[in-house]
Amino acid sequence: MQEKLRQLQAYNFAAYDMLLYLDTHPNDKKGFEIFKSLVEKTRQLKREYENEYGPIGQFSSAMFDSFEWLQSPWPWEKEGN
Amino acid sequence: MFEYKKFLEYPVKIKNPNPKLANVVITQYGGPNGELGASLRYLSQRYTMPDSMTKGLLTDIGTEELAHLEIVGSLVSQLSKGTMGKEWLDMQSAEYYADNGASVFPQSAQGNPFNAASIAVTGDPLTNLYEDLAAEQKARAVYDNILRVSDDPDVNDVIRFLRQREIVHFQRFGEANRTNLRRI
């Protein structure tokens, strides 16, 4: 679980950092391409993580057979990291 | 609107509870240069900004500051988790424990509750941006101070991440400021 979470956190962070870069460099085409690929990889990792360990988005809870939002660990707890 | 992601922007995994250190780190939760003030400063300044670059940047950095608030809250929470009253007395942090128990309350290291007077929202784009540049440096300096007093590697790893983000935000605010200056 931890390894998958670390990957997700890394790509999520990189994508967000590129978002801030694009805010002040909106015409950087190469930057936008990097952003797109980072976001795509983040989405893919999020889907994989959720399929295995439960929802990490509020509305992702709707993909499951039962309401599992409360089952997965909370981020501020040591066990959730 | 805001949507929650059920993971931290950067992982927090503290092995050794330490109420005294929790009492120092708390200052970046609710102190004068902390993450609560940062998010409120940027998200409140947005409304009068004239251009979409600064509107976007303040929205996106303000949102990231909320993620940082959660990281600092997690640090304080894990540093105090499972501790009993006597340990807080031994660590000379009994004053915090008396008011808040082993929980997370927005206050400075000196015990002052969060005060919005530590942020400025002026309606003037350049004044706001210079306030933001200064705020990022002040937060960076506080993280440096924390690194000087903390010898817990698990805590310091997270503090270093947060410190780096202050530098990146400073850079982005500087770029937005230059763009604004060119417009005058």
Question: Which residues in chain A touch residue B11, judged by CB atoms under 8 angstroms apart?
Answer: 5-6, 9, 81
Give Dmax over CA atoms of chain B in angstroms. 60
Nearest to B70 by CA among A77, A16, A54: A77
Q: Is B14 on the interface with A (CB under 8 A)?
A: yes
pLDDT at residue B118, rounded to an integer: 94
What's the pLDDT tens digit per position in B143-171? 999 999 999 999 999 999 999 999 999 99
- Report CB contact under 8 Å: B70, A8: no
Q: In sequence order, what are the beta bridge partners of B171?
A: none
Q: Rounded distance, CA A42 to CA A60, Å? A: 15
pLDDT at residue B136, rounded to an integer: 98
End-to-end CA distance of chain A: 9
Q: At what angle do helices B35-45 and B52-80 cross, to 10 degrees?
A: 160
Residue B31 DSSP symbol: S
Q: Rounded distance, CA B26 to CA B20, Å? A: 10
Q: Percentage of residues in chain B with pLDDT exceeding 90?
A: 86
pLDDT at residue A63, rounded to an integer: 92
Residues in chain B where the model's pLDDT stays below 70: none
Distance from CA of A25 to the nearest CA of B (A): 9
ipTM: 0.96
Query: How far, CA to CA in Å, does B7 sit from each of A3, A66, A73, B16, B86?
Result: 13, 21, 9, 21, 32
Nearest to A7 by CA among A47, A59, A55: A47
Question: Which residues in chain A touch residue B179, judged by CB atoms under 8 angstroms apart?
Answer: 24
- Best of B5, B53, B168 to disrupt the A interface (most A CBs within 10 Å) is B5
pLDDT at residue B85, rounded to an integer: 77
- Report CB contact under 8 Å: A81, B8: yes
Amino acid at B144: D
Question: Which residues in chain B touch residue A48, judged by CB atoms under 8 angstroms apart?
Answer: none
What's the pLDDT tens digit per position in A22-43? 999 999 999 999 999 999 999 9
pLDDT along chain A (81 residues), means of 10: 94 98 98 98 97 94 94 90 91
